Structure 1
Amino acid sequence: MQETPAKILLVDDDPGIRLLIQHGLTRAGYQVTEASNGLEALECFETAKPDLMLIDVSMPELDGFETVAAIRQREGGEIIPLVMVTGSDDNESVTKAFHAGATDFITKPINLPILTQRVRYALASAEREQRLRRIHLEQQSACQLAKLGFWRLQIETGQLQWSRDAASLLGRSAAMPTSVAALIEEARPDQRQRLQLAFDQAGTRAAGLDLEIELARTGNACIIKLQSSPQIEDGVIVGAFQDVTALRAFEDQTLYLVEHDELTNLPNHRLFSRLLADRLERDRHAEARTGMLVIDIDRLHRINEAFGPVQGDEVIVTLANRLRQLLPSNSLLCRLESDSFGMAIPLESTDLATLQAQLLSQLILSLQINGREIYIDCSMGLAIHPDDGQEAASLIQAAQAAERETNRDQSRRFIQFSEIREARAEGRVILETDLRRALEKQEFFLVYQPQQCLATQRIEGVEALLRWNHAERGIVSPADFIPILEETGLIHEVGDWILEEAVRQAVDWLQQGLNLRMSVNLAAAQVENPNLINRLCALVKDYQLPPEQLELEITESTAMQVPEQTLLNLRKYKQCGFRIAIDDFGTGYSSLSYLLQFPLDTLKIDRAFVKEITRGKRNRAIVTALSTLSFHLGLTTIAEGVELESQRDYLDALNIDEIQGFLIARPLVPERLLEFMRAYEADAQPSPRQARSPS
Structure 2
Amino acid sequence: MVATVLVIDDDPTIRLLIASGLQRKHYQVILATDGQQGLEAFERHAPDLVLVDVSMPGLNGFDTLRAIRHGQAGSKGRHAPLLMLTGYDDVDSIKEAFEAGATDFLTKPINLALLTERVRYALSGAEREKALREAQLEQASACKLARLGFWHLDVPSGSLYWSEGAAEMLGWPSLPASVESFLALVSEDDRPRLETALTVASHNREGLDLEFSLGLGSLERTVRLQSAEQASEQRLVGAFQDVTTLRAFEDKALYLAAHDELTGLPKRHCFLSLLAEQLSQASETRWLVAALDISRLHRINEALGIRAGDQALVLFSRRLKQHVPSHALLGRLEADTFGVALPLSAQEDPRLVFQQWLAPLARAQRIAGEDVYIDFSAGASVFPDDTRDAEALLGAALQAQRLSRTQSGNQKLYFHNEFPGSCDASALSLEAHLQQALQKDEFFLVYQPQQHLAGGHISGVEALLRWQHASRGVISPVEFIPLLEETGLIVEVGDWVIQDACRQLAEWNRAGMDLRMSINLSAVQFTQPGFAKHIMAHVVSHGLTPSQLELEITESAAMRRPEHTLEILLELKELGFYLAIDDFGTGHSSYDYLLRFPIDTLKIDRSFTKGITQGRASRAIIRSLTTLSQGLGFRTVAEGVETQRQRDYLEALDVDEIQGFLLARPMAASHFASFMRNTSIRTRPTFPGVAALVSGEGTAPGS
Taking structure 2 as the reference length, the TM-score comes to 0.44
TM-score normalised by length of structure 1: 0.44
